Amino acid sequence: MPVVDAKPYQYPFEPKTTALVVIDMQRDFVEPGGFGDSLGNDVARLTAIVPTVAELIGLCRRYGIRVIHTREAHRADLTDCPPAKLKRGNPALKIGDKGAMGRILIDGEPGNDIVPALAPIAGEIVIVKPGKGAFYATALGDILRLQGITHLLFAGVTTEVCVQTTMREANDRGYECLLVEDATESYFPQFKTAALEMIRAQGGIIGWTATCGEVAAALAAR
């Protein structure tokens, strides 16, 4: 069984009962000209992790770890988007408005696509979620249960919002969770740092963290 030299202590896992969940690596969040960029964020921080996420995905595919992707998206008529979510922050471009890559956070629009370098392959599940967490109003819980998954690796954006929310949801459901530190990012570096510290505080109250290299080393040594 592979054992990752993780924080706050070692993380053992069995590849056949483990899944990698790649959160919201969408063009609108990661690429210049997208929704994240329109809000004044430095998307270069998020773009920079794409090669590491690609490496992690490739590693999981090679060792038989299931790969699951998520996209934050809403129906074209916005019936699944709470009014509070539409209004919050009073952004210049709201969910459903026309942006540089189509309507923002609308399923099927170009900006809602996963970045090409991380595109799902045949057989990989894509969860379309209306909220921050990937378990809310989706079939993710049923999918993991039916596939016998007990351990989850996490990557994606942003660390303190959709990634941490999903990881907390998974922790409450009994999954053993590890966040891959260099395969996640935030527009705000201090938020990422705080999120990592919260996850592994008090002996791993939410889970573990480790680098992609540390996960790779554990798999290579099995």
Q: Which residues are catalytic?
A: 24, 129, 162
What's the one-letter identity of residue 111? Answer: G
Could you tell me the CA-to-CA distances from 54 to 67, 91, 117, 136, 195 in Å, in that order?
11, 31, 7, 26, 22
Q: HSE (CB half, 13 Å, CA atoms) of 214?
A: 20
The answer to whether 31 touches 191, Cβ cutoff 8 Å, is: no
Backbone angles phi, psi at 77, to 5 degrees: -90, 0
- Give yes or no for a cis peptide into 158 (omega within 30° of 0): yes
Contact residues for 67 (Cβ-Cβ < 8 A; gap 6+): 19, 20, 22, 57, 60, 61, 120, 124
Tell me the backbone φ, ψ of residue 64, rounded to 5 degrees: 75, 20
- The angle formed by the CA atoms of residues 65, 166 and 78, to the nearest 5 degrees, is 115
What residue type is 103 in one-letter code? R
Check if the beta carbon of residue 108 is closer than 8 Å to that of residue 27.
Answer: no
